[in-house]
Amino acid sequence: MTRARFILSALLAAMTMLAAALHPAFAEDQRSAGGMLAWPREEMVRALGIYVPERMKRFDVPGASIAIVADGAIIYSATFGKADRGSDTPVTPATLFEAGEIGETVAAYAALGLVQDKLLFLDAPLSRDLPKPWLKNADDSRLVTLRQVLTHTSGLPDNAAHPSRSTRFAPGTHFFHSAVGFLYLQHAMEAVSGERIGEVMSKRVFEPLGMKSSGFVIRAADRANLARGYVPLSFPVLLFYLPFGASALLVLALVWGVVRFGLQRRIEPGDLLWPLTAGLVFAVSVVWYGLGLAHGAFVIATSVGYALAVGLLGGVIYYIFRLVGVISSRDGVISRGPEASEGTALGYSLALAFAISLLFFEWMLGVPRFSRLGIDSAPNVARSFRTNAGDMAHFMIGFMDGKGVGEALRARMVAERVEVDPPYGWGLGIGIRTDASGETLWARGSRMGFESLMVMDPARRAGVIVLTNSREGSALAQDVARNVFGLNGSWTLP
């Protein structure tokens, strides 16, 4: 056990004994007593100050920002680690994280404000007041409602990088997360309000709830505060080379069949050009289609750089083999004959280089901040939400109080839900988890190099927001939420 873990365990044990002495019920079952929310505030602050950095180190999370709400007030707010490892910039309360799909919940709240003002209607076609249809199919325009978009039952697809405006299944039949549905909602909100989405969100959510820095477009003044996301090297490499390998092997099998049975000869080196070309084209297409131009370029460039690095290392190893005499111009140890000896040695060199590269697969890479360059900077309620923990704490308080939409309409966000897979359901723009401990509301955000989690317990008017700048940050966020609320399980779709 490391010294940090030993100190953490000892401190938590001591705090447990103290809490048990002060609160007898705590001694029986910490989780049933309400988790860290039931602890004296000073003890919770000290424990999180040790626990969070230790878990960040374990999961290799560069930076995090956390805020906790209880009884409708912010009781804890802290930042940890680095917003950018390259420049050694620390995370501060002003640091903005990309929160991905959490922006859908924020946009849903604004949409309900438009419902309250009778500019949008839950069960009328979302196209009702549009000057021209946004969806391609007339039946889709006639059927898809705001309720279906908010509950992810619209039938629209999930690829916001290349959105298709056609449904994949009959609207209202079952749950399927749809980022395109929220792009449709964004278009409708702009059309009925006569304002750009940034203005709509500012007037209906950001300003009334005190969210001073959040937005779907980064203001010039806030660009310096944008955290850099991090992903392990394995993520872009596997994302590119898995489709590359699968398609290349398929085409190789076809080429072998044609050469072997059609041309009646063996495969020659030139024949390999076809599977390699097919693999490259397919992998580039898959990455570009799924991630868009900016993040797709990052994945492709990283993967090509990785291949070049492995090839260069293989060349160095091959040269070393020559120096030590493994490769010779006469019969050698590896094979007979100079050509076979050199070819086999080259193969071994590349295999050894690849094996060495696996040691660096968990090395964290910084994702370029494309919005600073004006790339991929268009407002997108399904993808481009940036915020900090303080702003999201204010959102949670406003949400639980129904500020801006009224308590009745806010209650409908939770009550009018669709079942996903017990214990999970989905309300009007927010996830719901129901178990023996009660009901919690949640939203999770995921972007290239960022993972975020927001969990609320309306019965206690409590909530926690965890923002991280790492693809590995989801485990940290779930751990913090479990300990804060004293609950098992997780908040993520099955």
- Residue that terminates a domain, selected from 315, 337, 361: 361
HSE at residue 359, side-chain half, CA atoms within 13 A, is 5
CA–CA distance from 148 to each of 58, 168, 175, 308 (Å)?
40, 14, 9, 47
Q: Which residues contact 192 (CB under 8 A, 6 or more apart)?
A: 114, 119, 120, 129, 130
Does residue 97 belong to any structural domain of this protein?
A: no
Does residue 377 belong to any structural domain of this protein?
A: no
How many domains does the structure of the chain reveal?
A: 2
pLDDT along the chain (494 residues), means of 10: 43 44 40 81 97 97 98 97 96 97 98 96 95 94 97 97 95 97 98 96 97 90 92 97 97 95 90 96 97 95 98 94 70 46 83 96 94 74 96 98 93 96 96 93 97 96 98 97 95 90
pLDDT at 374: 65
Rounded distance between C-alpha atoms, residue 146 and residue 124, angstroms:
7
pLDDT at 373: 65
Does residue 21 belong to any structural domain of this protein?
A: yes
Tell me the residue range of the domain where 1 lies: 1-59
Rounded distance between C-alpha atoms, residue 195 and residue 308, angstroms:
49
Does residue 283 belong to any structural domain of this protein?
A: yes
In 357-458, beta strands by DSSP E:
364-366, 386-387, 418-421, 424-426, 431-435, 438-447, 450-457
- Residue that terminates a domain, selected from 326, 361, 396: 361
- Residue 76 three-state SS: strand
Rounded distance between C-alpha atoms, residue 98 and residue 80, angstroms:
16
For the chain, how far is it from start to end, CA to CA, in angstroms? 33
HSE at residue 463, side-chain half, CA atoms within 13 A, is 27
Could you tell me if 372 and 222 are in contact, meaning their C-beta atoms sit under 8 angstroms apart?
no
pLDDT at 222: 84
Does residue 167 belong to any structural domain of this protein?
A: no
Q: Which residues contact 41 (CB under 8 A, 6 or more apart)?
A: 75, 76
- Residue that terminates a domain, selected from 361, 382, 406: 361
Instruction: Kindly state the DSSP code that residue 482 receives in the 8-state scheme.
Output: H
pTM to 2 decimal places? 0.89
| Phi and psi angles of residue 258, each rounded to the nearest 5 degrees, phi first | -65, -45
Does residue 292 belong to any structural domain of this protein?
A: yes
Could you tell me if 310 and 353 are in contact, meaning their C-beta atoms sit under 8 angstroms apart?
yes
DSSP string for residues in 12-32? HHHHHHHHHHH-HHHHH-TTT
Which secondary structure element, helix H or strand E, spans residue 321, and what is its range? helix 273-323
For 198, the token pair is 């940034």
Does residue 225 belong to any structural domain of this protein?
A: no
Does residue 226 belong to any structural domain of this protein?
A: no
- Alpha-carbon dihedral 427, 433, 434, 440, rounded to 10 degrees: -90
